[in-house]
Chain A
């Protein structure tokens, strides 16, 4: 029996409201990025969505440090922070996903490590900030402060449990028989992993990488504590887009925010078919 029409209406109405609420600030940010200085702060009576005078000035400002509309120039441009964010987030993701995947496979298949999986999970039970003071001391000792590798490393470490647990649940779902079949066909264990198991979880791998990347990309506190000048990331840099003279540079921040939103969106669209398809193996009759 088909469901009555009104149940669909309700469902879609709810979805629209939820999506609208979630996207409202994003939309506001997007239009703000194109508003000139005079429109950044408006009184309630003059609240408008669309900029009266569209301008690229905000983007110009963050990349060159100056723009005609703003008198206060900024000595640092957004180029290096964007590079820093990309490098450290991608490397951190690589570390977490590679180490997490290999570890998860070992634990899932060979039952090694005893309580290690739970221990790894416990790493996620407290906020990373709780251990940042000792990490700062260690990083300073290692000369890892304000370096691309120092920040990448801590990103990899902090998101490793996440990658490990996600991949472990996915590996647990790969039927043993499939690997055993490859084994009796003459594969070495590594070849089984590389040619059979890993390709079977590639969808899961892609979604795990996306989640880990977003975690790293949106980090503020760790970058704030472990960088000074050279490898400041986008969120930290964004905070510097204000000064006593200029006040809060809302337009510039919105422009940077818009740029910062792009990589996860692009990444997400690129692996969309994997995300949607999810994990439907169907190799076994369950």
Chain B
């Protein structure tokens, strides 16, 4: 059993609170991504799990066992660093053997496991190379192999792919998934790349400013963001967030976008959520791929906008629309036929709208 529980975990560096009262349960054999912008406390959390840093407050449990008094070298976790931290004075083989030797594993067993790992990571023909001769991609393979070879139950990866080139990153993503499938570790994966988190993780913990913003499956985090931070952070292009006011237009609720006009609310779910709003000032959110572009004559809820910019980015076309002080992005299929300056209506289909409190940024009436 190697579940990880973080209970009221707090880390302060002087006046700076890097991690603030974090509570997180990472179930056994799950792949959890800690996602957030740089400086959000994800690496600090990782270092505390590994025992490299001691928490200021709170505790960490591995399989129910308190780790507070267990030093880093006794925790038996695998740790892959963003900058590889390869032992450059050793050959690839020596690097892979290192952890096993420290643990006093038998020689024949060391040989077998190193060979096994070299096969898995495709490092066979590099085993007796000096690490200084390896490419960046190979270095990271050695780093992952070195940590995985001891078969730790808990495997921590701190932005392991962020220094790699795009093609190799995609390759390593599948390799990592493969690795976890093979060894059944509990994996904690730090990243600032939401696509990486979405594609790899069973669950995503979104962090910002040392605070946990949301913890859930990739699906939940993407489709039901708890606040504007999560909504904005997940997805590329990110969610359109438009500040507006709730008004009572003729008995029905309407969204007043100021100089961009108003839009009636016909969506029952959105109406229910709007009624729960404490303030009239809200933030209206729409995923770029959820917005429809329609001719203005169609009288459905939406706002009249103008095409201000068209980005054809390979598989998709991102259409920028603007009206007054508002602008939004709409993601469409590739070679989407639209002209710059076209006067259109941005339509908000039912069931796809998000509504947040303008002051706190929290989602309103989320179920």
Contact = CB atoms under 8 A, between A and B. Distances in A.
- The answer on A and B forming one complex is yes
Interface of A: 175, 177-178, 180-188, 191, 196, 199-200, 202, 281-285
A180 B89 contact: no
| Overall SS of chain A's interface | helix
B356 interface: no
B109 to A, nearest CB: 16
A239 to B, nearest CB: 45
B97 to A, nearest CB: 11
B257 interface: no
Contact of B76 (A186, A196, A202): A186
Contacts of A282: 88, 132
Contacts of B89: 199-200, 202
B88 A200 contact: yes
B225 interface: no
Given A186-B73, A187-B73, A283 B102 contact: no
A186 B103 CA distance: 7
Nearest to A286: B83
Contacts of A182: 87, 98
Interface residues of B, number: 33
Q: For the complex of A and B, list the 8 residue pairs with the smallest distance between their C-beta atoms, beginning with the closest.
A: A177-B85, A185-B99, A181-B85, A284-B83, A283-B88, A186-B102, A184-B79, A199-B89
B163 interface: yes
Contact of A180 (B79, B87, B131): B79
B98 A185 contact: yes
Contact of B72 (A175, A180, A199, A283): A180
Contacts, number: 77
A183 B51 CA distance: 9
B319 interface: no
B348 interface: no
Contact of B85 (A186, A191, A199, A283): A283
B340 interface: no
Given A180-B47, A180-B79, A184-B51, 15 more contacts: A180-B50, A180-B52, A182-B98, A184-B50, A184-B52, A185-B150, A187-B73, A191-B102, A199-B90, A200-B88, A202-B89, A283-B83, A283-B87, A283-B88, A285-B163
B40 interface: no
Nearest to B98: A185
Interface string B82-111: 011111111000000011001100000000
Nearest to B103: A186
A260 to B, nearest CB: 35
A183 B132 CA distance: 22
Interface in B41-88: 47, 50-52, 72-79, 81, 83-88
B84 A284 contact: yes
Contact of A177 (B77, B83, B131, B150): B83
Nearest to B51: A184
A266 B74 CA distance: 45
A181 B83 CA distance: 11
A230 B78 CA distance: 59
A285 B136 contact: yes
A178 B83 CA distance: 9
A130 to B, nearest CB: 41
Contacts of B150: 185-186
B95 to A, nearest CB: 10
A285 B162 CA distance: 11
Contacts of B102: 185-187, 191
